[in-house]
Structure formats: structure tokens, C-alpha cells
Amino acid sequence: MTSTQSLEYLSGFLPGHKHAMHNADNPLVTIVDQQLESTLDSVDASEDRAKVLASGMGFPEEDAYQIGYAVREALVNAVVHGNRYSANKAVHFVMSRVGGSLHIMIEDEGRGFDPEEQADPLANENLLNQSGRGIMIIRAFMDDFVIEKTERGGTRVVMKKSLPPGT
């Protein structure tokens, strides 16, 4: 996605934005809107919640697992790399339904992240690294994935997964 496309995508997701894609026929329903502590316990609970909510929306079991795993990876990045486990920083976690799609937004209060600077997790020299594959996994599991810098300098990720046809 280009920067313009990603901003259009974000504006379609964010509640109250003037260019939002939701309308009376396709309402935005916020399911979760939480400020999480920068702890791995928050990550675990949110992953479980995402899986349960995705199942409740009608996603097949494998898709619900993948949504939960994508949420986990994004939250770990926010807690560990963004907020650096700071008790003074929170992670904003939002899950919304727009028609037959689940939209997820996660924001940290860190210093920002440039995905272009991330090493290729499939390069030979990185294959045995203990970290660095989360974004690749999220991209594989979700239909859309955008990384943006927040107005305050942190990182915002937005993910979308649509229900399979016929569900």
C-alpha cells in the first residue's frame, strides 16, 4: 500500500473520521476499545479475547486462530519494542466490525517504527534470530495491514480480516 492508500484505509477504520467507509448500511461497531498495560499478561488476555470475538463473528477456527496470533504479534511489538515494558505507557487496542470485516488497531506510545529498516527475516543471516518475523506473520494472516506513525510519535498498526464468502 502507498502512503496515501494507507491513510485512506486508516480513515475508513477510525471512528468519527470524516472519510470513514462505514455508513448506515455498513455500520462500524466497536467491540473492544481498551488501554492496556505494557505487559505480556495484557498481550495474552487480548490474544484470547481476539480469538473468541473472531469466532463469535463467524470466522472459521483457523482464521480465528490466525487473527489471535496477529493480534499477539502486534501487541508484543507494541509492548516490547514500542513501549519497552514501561509502566508509564499504555497500548491502545481497538477491535471493530464493519460489515463482514474485522478491523483491529493497536497503538503504542514509543518512538515510532520504520518498517523499511527492518531486516529481511528470510535472509540466511536472520533465519536463526529469535525475533523479527512478527510483521511477516501478520501480513500472511491478515487481508490488510498498515503501519503508521502516530501524531505523538508512536506506532499505529491497523489490520483487517474479512469473513470468507458464505459465512
Domain ranges of the chain: 3-17+27-162
Give me the pLDDT at residue 27, please: 75
CA distance 105 to 100: 17
What is the separation of C-alpha 111 from the centre of its chain, rounded to a whole number of angstroms? 18
Q: What is the DSSP letter of 163?
A: P
CATH number of 3-17+27-162: 3.30.565.10
pLDDT of the chain, 167 residues: tens digit per residue: 343 444 444 445 544 443 345 566 677 788 999 999 999 999 999 999 999 999 999 999 999 999 999 999 999 999 999 999 999 999 999 999 998 999 999 999 999 876 677 766 556 665 555 655 689 999 999 999 999 999 999 999 999 999 999 87
Q: Are strands 155-162 and 28-37 parallel, antiparallel or unpaired?
A: unpaired
* pTM for the predicted model, two decimal places: 0.82
